[in-house]
Amino acid sequence: MLGYGTGAVSILSDGFHSLTDSASNVVALVGMRASGKPPDVDHPYGHRKYETLAAAGIFVFLLIVVMEVVRAAVHRFAGGGAPSVTTMSFGVMIATLIVNVGVVRYESAEGRRLNSELLHADAMHTKSDVFTSCAVLVSLVAVRLGYPMVDPLGGVIVAGFIAHTGWEIARQTSRVLSDRVVIAEDSIRSVVMAAPGVVGCHQIRTRGSEDHAFLDLHVWYPSDMSLFEAHRLSHVVKDRLMQAFPQIADAIIHIEPPPSELP
């Protein structure tokens, strides 16, 4: 309302950004609730990707904001004019900046503590609010000093911050949705090879998110080892892997003899 009332593109852009914060937080809450459900018949791997989809939803909101801000800035550049900058404008923006700094610090700390992909994404989103509020304050000062064209320029800068945040969120969510490697193969191999009885391993694959990964691999045992013993030792490998990498939700180990001992 303040942006429309003063005609300041920079304030309007920050208002749209804050509006998407509320909408994205609703999406985040829904995503976290859905992702917390245990595995079932239709979702044997669980529901954690709903959290990733919620993070992707935040990216969509950011994209909409960027388009609206750029449209408003282009309109101001073409039509000219100067916004009305008042003491209330500065007061609202400073209060917004203080609140956003507090939210970023809290969400970042909780995201690290809980290893939550969604909290990290929303913290990044809110961090962009801090930068945009600073850009808006600079724009308001410039307008007050007699440079009205700095206002739409500030809106474009705000759009840049938002676009960068959206890109980072999109990059992280795409890694999960495309089943990108989560844990380095060499790191897993070093743990496996240190387990008793293991001759070798290959076809190591990981997928999922950084805090909730799935692993499958083939482990070689001597061909003259009994199936019972190989099975027992494979559980030793699994236990060591899940101890070394707590983010592993489940590990599937296929037992086989080394290629050199196959007939």
Judge if 163 and 189 occupy the same domain.
no
Mean per-residue pLDDT pooled into runs of 10, the chain (263 residues): 51 63 66 71 75 76 78 72 64 77 80 71 72 75 76 76 79 83 93 94 90 91 92 95 91 90 61
Judge if 8 and 122 occupy the same domain.
yes
pLDDT at 5: 45
Judge if 167 and 198 occupy the same domain.
no
Domain that holds residue 203: 185-261
Give the 3-state secondary structure of residue 158.
Answer: helix
pLDDT at 228: 94
Judge if 195 and 123 occupy the same domain.
no
pLDDT at 51: 73
> How buried is 246 (Cβ within 10 angstroms: 0-12 exposed, 13-18 middle, 19+ buried)?
exposed
d(CA 81, CA 159): 20
> How buried is 192 (Cβ within 10 angstroms: 0-12 exposed, 13-18 middle, 19+ buried)?
buried
Scanning 80-116, the segments in alpha helix (DSSP H) are: 87-114
Structure-token pair, residue 29: 């809450």
Q: At residue 255, what are phi and psi to the nearest 5 degrees?
A: -90, 135
pLDDT at 108: 79
Q: Tell me how far CA of residue 183 lies from CA of 19, 170, 216, 239, in angstroms.
A: 37, 20, 12, 16
How many domains is the chain built from?
2
- Contact criterion met (CB below 8 Å) for 143 and 175: no
Judge if 173 and 119 occupy the same domain.
yes
pLDDT at 186: 93
CATH of the domain at 87: 1.20.1510.10
Question: Whole-prediction pTM value?
Answer: 0.63
Judge if 60 and 135 occupy the same domain.
yes
Judge if 167 and 89 occupy the same domain.
yes
Judge if 208 and 83 occupy the same domain.
no
CA 223 to chain centre: 45
Judge if 122 and 242 occupy the same domain.
no
Judge if 48 and 170 occupy the same domain.
yes
- Contact criterion met (CB below 8 Å) for 59 and 169: yes
d(CA 138, CA 154): 8
d(CA 234, CA 128): 47
Boundary (domain end) residue, out of 177, 198, 227: 177
